[in-house]
Structure 1
Amino acid sequence: MNRSAPPLTQSQAGQSAPIRQICCIGAGYVGGPTMAVIADHCPGIQVTVVDLNEARIAAWNDPDLSRLPVYEPGLDVVVGRCRGRNLHFTTAVEAAIASADMVFLSVNTPTKTRGIGAGQASDLRWIEASARQVAACAQGHTIVVEKSTLPVRTAETVKAILTAAQGAGGQTTFAVLSNPEFLAEGTAINDLEKPDRVLIGGEEPEAINALAAIYAHWVPAERILRTNLWSSELSKLTANAFLAQRISSINAIGALCEATGADVREVARAIGSDSRIGSKFLAAGPGFGGSCFQKDILNLVYLCGHYGLQEVASYWQQVVELNSWQQHRIANLVVRSLFGTVTGKRLAVLG
């Protein structure tokens, strides 16, 4: 691990000013660990994570590393190594943006609960608010990086907000990149340290190269993929949709196995041995949960419908519906095995 590298310079990537300051808006599950790993591998860059939640920032700054607001194996070690050196957590959002050469947007994008697209589309109010804050506070040339999981074409909104704020004399300018996260709970640090790929989408080669140069401190060049903005934004949703699809597929086969006397574990091992398919995400169970898969698939469904691709929308909607069916099917199996009622009985959940 290279801990003595000098600051990266944007002149190396086709820009004039050195990259010395990074700001990340959002100190949650993605922003905190990602910035910690960047700070660990790039000691010449000052990395500041900002959030309006004072309690969360206080937890990130707690001397007791076991009280960090995010638990991930190895995260406490990384934060302990960098915090106070070149990794900082603060609620001083405006000052951090003003001094930054690169700003990551890593805020929450939940599913909308009302309005157009309610129940499917992503609520982008925090992305828009963050973009407006960057537009108001940034100085000089700033590279703005979308880190949150976003619907394809979101960068158009971010660019429009930033373009409106650009100084007439060119004193304030912006470049927008998409750099989605591919983290799994429980393995986030390993996913960041040894990623399958780092995806960077953009329209300006200089900005893309500047971000790629940061990752190049520890990620092999062949694993840093460059695309256009829209491909990068869509790739994150597609990756989660494909993983969820595999879970629904093996659960559907699991139901057929129960009806025919086949063993779904043996079937999964048999098809997983096919190099074209592989063995990951073929464990039958009660279906997928968590904060990402269903949200991202429903977002994909909404986007397909928005662009008039109703057959495609129906295809991905079926993945969600089958998952819901599987959850109810497993619940019914449990109730039936307990003689029709769970009242007064103790249930243990393994895993």
Structure 2
Amino acid sequence: MIRVSCFERIKFAYAIGKDSRIGPKFLNSGVGFGGSCFQKDILNLVYWKQVIKINDYQKSRFVDRIVSSMFNTVANKKIPILGFAFKKDTGDTRETPTIDVCKGLLGDKAQLSIYDPQVTRDQIQRDLSMDKFDLDLPLHVQPLTLTEWNEFKTLDFQMVYDNMQKPASVYDGDAWIKDLPVVV
């Protein structure tokens, strides 16, 4: 901590308080902060940091489970990705966990084929620096569902599974596929 005179501290607080995003309140130095809500709110920031950390872990864990179920390598294996948007009925890919899952698989040299009804080829290229391929399920090894689009619910996943090279799994990122050997 830097020791400054009282006058310098007041000038510094005044300058910081001129920023409209901060404002002049709560900039006077003292023994410490207090109040029943403020400390609770600060402690919640620590909680939310852990929530973010767990969320990041879930994405990497999903990739690790896929890789380990494919004999610890996805190199040169063609994997279809069903859904790229962060949720169904949108083309919005901001903060979608699919980007992290795809980057993890691409980092392990997988060949991805991505289909989403509303996400454009250009958006996928911007997010991943790769092409969007047409969906061709029977030629793929293990499909991943990452966005719960209604049109995916009409796919005959049993037929897809029956035509897959075995051992085979369908990876369901949203846990909505029933009655198949699904990895969640």
Q: Report the TM-score, using the length of structure 2 for normalisation.
A: 0.30
Q: Report the TM-score, using the length of structure 1 for normalisation.
A: 0.19
Of Structure 1 and Structure 2, which has the larger fraction of its residues in helix? 1
Which protein is bigger by CA-based radius of gyration? 2
